[in-house]
Structure 1
Amino acid sequence: MAQVEESGAAAGVDPERLWLRAAEPRRGRKPSFSREAITEAAVSLADAEGLDAVSMRRVAAAVGAGVMSLYSYAPDKETLVELMVDHVSAELPTSGPLTGDWRADLKAIAHLQRDHMLRHPWLPAALVTHRAPGPHVLAFLEHALTALRPSGLDGAARLEIFAQLTAFVAGHVGHELARARAAHSPERAAAEARYLAAVTRDGHHPELAEALFAPHRPSDPEATFSRFLNRLTDGLDTG
């Protein structure tokens, strides 16, 4: 039973039960912690060590409780991750003036998402299995859909665009974080450079050779993200 709960291999999170019903502990002595405290402890663990470091056992130790006492609030890791995603989503702004230029507003939203994911590097991986949006996630989604209204697209298309944008940001941030980790390993970087140099000399990859030896664009992470984002948003078809 505990193994299933730790792995998140349960039948799935019931969003109605999770978000529309108050979290209630089991009968007996009132515990000295809350669902909020459990979620905060899990977020702190993930921020420091990554999502794989989060387990019911470690979260229980962080709040000073027994593992079994947590299950009334978060019956498995899958539910805990949903709580974590919604908790940190409270950091995202959901109000403020929009320009009316939906592409510009969409780009601003994407930059907010990137900054948010860089603060919580476990988020890109968590969003892959995220299926039960909570109140903070829904508030940010509502803000994004409002920003897209001037596009003239119907609601379903706007929802698709926001999903596409979020997937792009998550993928880009995941790559950005991986490159940052690789930069701490000069030996690996040198090996990759030697490999690519050998490949481009073999005569079988002329297009790749041209791309690799083209004048370098600014390598600043913010500039790179903006360049990719512009290509995505400027190419969106509203016809």
Structure 2
Amino acid sequence: MAGRPAEPEVIWSRPERAARGPRPAYTRAEIAAVAVRIADADGLDAVSMRRVAGELGCGTMSLYNYVPRKEDLYELMVDLVAEEHELPERPTGDWRADLTALAHRSRAMMRRHPWMSRLMSSAYGFSPNTIKFLEFSLWCLDPLDLPYGRKVELVAMVNGVVTTYVANEIQTAERTRSLPWPAEREHEIRTAYLEKEIATGRYPRLAAALAEDSGPVDMEAVFDRALSRVLDSFGGG
């Protein structure tokens, strides 16, 4: 019927090549690799069907024959990067250590691809390589006596901690790069303002907290503590 919207479809349900006809000029992996390269260099907003097609050397409309929607392109990108997890052959049997190791690998991967923090959601979480990652994460939790629903919740919370920390790191770095003066000067300006406000006596608890300041915050230690607390809440310390 004319005007009827297309049926929703997952790109992984579509065969990469038709049973008949000429061999496709590009594979999904090749298309995804170009998109990832663009995003790594210029950010996610720089990824467009037109630019990807241009770098592949084909017309934009031709690219739509391989990737019907931009959301499908994002899904291909997430799946390609998820392959970098390089999962071990099997868990060690220490679920806390295994999940902690996965979290650190995920953090390193997201640092290599800063745009990933914007796409880390269930909308792009069920591609072949992300499903493998989820299955392995649940395998790591075999020793933990919890229903699978709670285990999935734990994996999601760990991934949430990783995504939140990396997103904050990226935003902080981007803001620092955009400053019209050195980052040290920005720190001095904000510190002076805060000290002036503290001196009013209206913020005694904040003043006490700052009085205990022992120097620069070790963000790696903060990350490990946050991760450990999530794990503690599911299985004890």
TM range (shorter): 0.7 to 0.9
Quote the Cα distance in structure 2 between the aligned partners of 1:58 and 1:194.
46
Task: Give the aligned partner of residue 234 of structure 2.
Answer: 236
Q: Does 1:156 pair with 2:154?
A: no
Task: Give the aligned partner of residue 99 of structure 1.
Answer: 92
Task: Give the aligned partner of residue 209 of structure 2.
Answer: 211
Q: 1:112–1:226: structure 2 CA closer, same or farther, 3 Å change rule?
A: same
Quote the Cα distance in structure 2 between the aligned partners of 1:59 and 1:175.
28
Give the Å deviation of 1:129.
Answer: 6.2
> In the alignment, which of 201, 207, 224 is matched to residue 226 of structure 1?
224
Task: Write the letter of the residue equivalent to 2:204.
Answer: P
Quote the Cα distance in structure 2 between the aligned partners of 1:132 and 1:104.
23
Normalised to the residue count of structure 1, the TM-score between the two structures is 0.83
Task: Give the aligned partner of residue 9 of structure 2.
Answer: 14
Normalised to the residue count of structure 2, the TM-score between the two structures is 0.83
Q: 1:210–1:13: structure 2 CA closer, same or farther, 3 Å change rule?
A: farther
Task: Give the aligned partner of residue 63 of structure 1.
Answer: 56
Quote the Cα distance in structure 2 between the aligned partners of 1:33 and 1:61.
13
Give the Å deviation of 1:145.
Answer: 0.4
In structure 2, the gaps of 5 or more residues are: none
Query: Which has more radius of gyration?
Result: 2
Q: Is the 8 A contact 2:111 2:166 kept in 1?
A: yes
Q: 1:98–1:132: structure 2 CA closer, same or farther, 3 Å change rule?
A: closer
In structure 1, the gaps of 5 or more residues are: 1-9
Task: Give the aligned partner of residue 23 of structure 1.
Answer: 16
Provide the alpha-carbon RMSD of the alignment.
Answer: 2.7
- Give CA-to-partner distance per residue, 1:51-110, whole Å, 9 cap, x none: 111111111111111111111221222111111001110111233342322222211111
Larger relative contact order (CA 8 Å, sep ≥ 6)? 1
Task: Give the aligned partner of residue 191 of structure 1.
Answer: 189
> In the alignment, which of 166, 179, 190 is matched to residue 173 of structure 1?
166
Identity %: 40
> In the alignment, which of 140, 147, 153 is matched to residue 147 of structure 1?
140
Task: Give the aligned partner of residue 200 of structure 2.
Answer: 202
**Number of aligned pairs?**
226
